[in-house]
Structure 1
Amino acid sequence: MSLLPALASNLPVTVFSGGAALAYALLAWAHPRMSAPQSRGLLGLAWALHLLVLVLGLFEQPARFGFAPALSVTGWLVLTVYLIESRLYPQMRARWTLAVLGMAVVLLALVFPGTPYPALHSALMPLHWALGIASYGLIAAAVVHAWLMQRAEKAIRLGNASESSMPLLTLERLTFRFVAAGFALLSATLLAGWFFSETLNHRWVWDHKTTFSLLSWLTMGVLLWGRWRLGWRGRVAVRTLYVAAGFLLLGYAGSRFVLEVLLHRA
């Protein structure tokens, strides 16, 4: 199906996706000239429109899913975390970056809505998907915090840190909390995947998704062990987290991108 007929076939999703992308774009462009309440309000509007797009997608028949919707849900979860934390820590500032991220994933999901799933092999399969997406969101939140931590550390080294900046140790603590939570959910996701493979296929299925997900799980396990036993922090910890997140991105989104976009296979 070509792009224009596909967009016209689900007009509400197209309209609200456009509204969310426009709100994100406006925030990214105008936030330096906006007051804090104004930028928070606009980000909240974009977040709500983004949520509406995701909810409308749940009622599509047949259900569709793919790499872009997965990234869209992940981006929305990261924004949810930021909206909550910005209330607790007003010093946290990443609106421009997150607005660009939100705009990108909304438009990507609009162009690549995924492949249809007319029938589920198990009624519990959505639980496996939910666990996987939640682990994506938590680990993506950890990556955002690690980036903020690197930025704060650089500002301290250059003598540009202000008293109103987010404390470095607080960012570090939040980063590893998200890593630990993401690791726990990814463990549950892999266990659920193993259960479904044994139930449906009577064997563990080794594919790109499984291999990269396990590599991500092992890398995060090493990171948490290094933090606990060796006191890893700073560049070593951040780079290890980036590697783990990269493996996880390749695990589902990367493999589905190759199948859907490059190979045109479901």
Structure 2
Amino acid sequence: MTTHVLALLAIVLYLAATGVLARPLLSGGQPLNRLALGLAGMAVILHGGILLGMHRGALDLHFFAALSLVAFVVSALTLLVNASRPVAALGVIVFPLTALLVAVDSFLAPPTLPQPMDWQIKLHVTVALIAFGILSIAAVFAILLAIQERALRHRQFGRWLRALPPLTLTETLLFRLISAGFVLLSLTLLTGVLFVDNLFGQHLVHKTVLSIVAWLVFGVLLYGRWRYGWRGKRAVNLTLVGMAVLALAFFGSKAVLELVLHRPI
């Protein structure tokens, strides 16, 4: 079976899982979480096979390949979150975006060759990807939290709102994810210092500085939560700011170098 066929199957499965999760939110009926997670699970497995096949079993960090890899990590983490606490809206947001990135990487992106890496760099990149994935899901929870708070203030009790976890649980999950992501982001910076030669060179200065800024934003948020009980709008805003800075660190300079300047990295 060719990679393109696997990509089409993965896209169809991701979109089918999205439809199954979204149907009760739009038209009522019983949620079919097991079916949706089964479809998404098969999509994630196929997605992993696509990444191995297209990129020769190596970590390919070129722009579109890296986006697809991050989407794979986020989708896998979404499955884990939903296995413990079903949050249909999370999959409705994550899975179609992943399907789009699979399509772009498989059918539109130019072919690339992964660059060789030592095991230390692979460890650094793996920790960074997981940290980015967890904090990406935290950003989605922050958006859901903002939507819930606004709906409750305006007494808009729609079907989709009842499908979300209670507000306090959404907030608890948000800070658990931020705490885990912060620890892994700290390990990312530590392994970068230990393993990456010339950390402030090789087009890495922007990534390093922005990653530190994001780390500080999430650190301030966690300290404010512990010391002052920060929550609500302040927590949402800081989460989204930290995630935006981290996304610039991971993909900003990469996009400029590869897509605008056409310089290999």
Give the TM-score band, short-chain normalised: 0.7 to 0.9
1:68 counterpart (64, 67, 70): 64
Is this contact kept in 2: 1:65–1:114, CA < 8 A? no
1:155 partner amino acid: A
Structure 1 residues 15 and 92: CA distance shift in structure 2, 3 A: closer
Structure 1 match to 2:174: 175
Moved more, 12-21 or 109-118: 109-118
> What is the CA–CA distance in structure 1 between the aligned matches of 2:148 and 2:239, rounded to whole Å?
17
> What is the CA–CA distance in structure 2 between the aligned matches of 1:93 and 1:140, rounded to whole Å?
14
Partner SS state of residue 81, structure 2: helix
1:263 counterpart (250, 261, 264): 261
Q: Deviations over 1:48-69 (max 9, x none)?
A: 22222233346357x6322323
Q: How does 1:110-125 map to 2 (within 5 A)?
A: 110=106, 111-112=108-109, 115-120=112-117, 122-125=118-121
Structure 2 match to 1:100: 96
2:23 counterpart (32, 38, 41): 32
Q: How does 1:1-266 map to 2 (within 5 A)?
A: 12-28=2-18, 31-32=22-23, 36=32, 37-57=34-54, 59-60=56-57, 64-90=60-86, 92-110=88-106, 111-112=108-109, 115-120=112-117, 122-159=118-155, 160=157, 165-197=164-196, 200-201=197-198, 204-205=200-201, 207-266=205-264
> What is the CA–CA distance in structure 2 between the aligned matches of 1:218 and 1:12, rounded to whole Å?
44
> What is the CA–CA distance in structure 1 between the aligned matches of 2:64 and 2:257, rounded to whole Å?
12
CA RMSD, 1 decimal = 2.7
Is this contact kept in 2: 1:67–1:257, CA < 8 A? yes
> Where in structure 2 are there 5+ consecutive unaligned residues?
none
Q: Deviations over 1:59-101 (max 9, x none)?
A: 357x632232332232222222322332332354333322221
Structure 1 residues 104 and 142: CA distance shift in structure 2, 3 A: same
> What is the CA–CA distance in structure 1 between the aligned matches of 2:192 and 2:84, rounded to whole Å?
36
Partner SS state of residue 89, structure 2: coil
Structure-1-length-normalised TM-score:
0.82
- Runs of 4+ displaced beyond 6 Å: none
Q: Percent identity?
A: 32
Structure-2-length-normalised TM-score:
0.82
Structure 1 residues 127 and 23: CA distance shift in structure 2, 3 A: same
Is this contact kept in 2: 1:67–1:254, CA < 8 A? no
2:72 partner amino acid: W
Moved more, 171-180 or 89-98: 89-98
> What is the CA–CA distance in structure 2 between the aligned matches of 1:211 and 1:260, rounded to whole Å?
20
> What is the CA–CA distance in structure 2 between the aligned matches of 1:257 and 1:186, rounded to whole Å?
21
Partner SS state of residue 124, structure 1: helix
> What is the CA–CA distance in structure 1 between the aligned matches of 2:101 and 2:111, rounded to whole Å?
13
Deviation at 1:222, TM superposition (A): 1.1
Structure 1 residues 117 and 79: CA distance shift in structure 2, 3 A: closer
Moved more, 13-22 or 247-256: 13-22
> What is the CA–CA distance in structure 2 between the aligned matches of 1:185 and 1:109, rounded to whole Å?
27
Deviation at 1:142, TM superposition (A): 0.8
Is this contact kept in 2: 1:67–1:252, CA < 8 A? no
2:2 partner amino acid: P
Q: Deviations over 1:233-257 (max 9, x none)?
A: 1111111111111111111212111
Partner SS state of residue 190, structure 2: helix
